[in-house]
Structure 1
Amino acid sequence: MRMLLKVQMDTPASNEAIKAGTLFKTVEGALEALHPEAAYFTVEDGCRTGYIFFDLTDTSELPKISEPFFLGLGAKIHYSPVMNREDLAKGLAAIMPGN
């Protein structure tokens, strides 16, 4: 299932991770494990924030994905299932009258 992982990093914890040289290692490790379709980084609510789009094959993977962000960056994590254009077209076609 295509998922959006929103990682909102605690500012003091991520400041320390930058100083220690571990922030990029934490993020890069997650990206290598997830093989994301896309990953974007910005600021939201005054916090460093990442939006990572990836395929979740099994919900048992969630702790492995989340814990590095919790432990290393004091992050808040949010998962949302998402659709691309083709998924939306398929979903809408399935609810059209006569299908």
Structure 2
Amino acid sequence: MIAQMYEQDFIAYFIFGIVLNFVFSILFGIYLSKNIGMQEMITSKGEKEQSSLVAISLFIPYAKMIITLYRVAILQFYFLNKGKTHKEFWIYMTHEE
């Protein structure tokens, strides 16, 4: 047993979490590309690397999905509600401070 679950159940939750992560990530990417424009995203992308915690979180069920939803919340509450643009969010996410 793993985390009080049978191995088959744990693996099923794990795979479902990874699938949900990719669905949310793809939808968020499509949303940003529609609002910013693909060419503009390519030209304004910085060289900021993701932290190792984000890379490791792919192996924890639902963790990467929660990180993606956290980024959506930052976009909504910090940028859009304060009158900033989607492009400013993109620059914030891809450039070093």
TM-score grouping bracket, smaller chain normalisation: under 0.3
Q: Which has the higher contact order (CA 8 A, sep 6+)?
A: 1
What TM-score, normalized to structure 1? 0.26
Judging by fraction of residues, say which structure has more helix.
2
Question: 1 or 2, which has the higher strand percentage?
Answer: 1
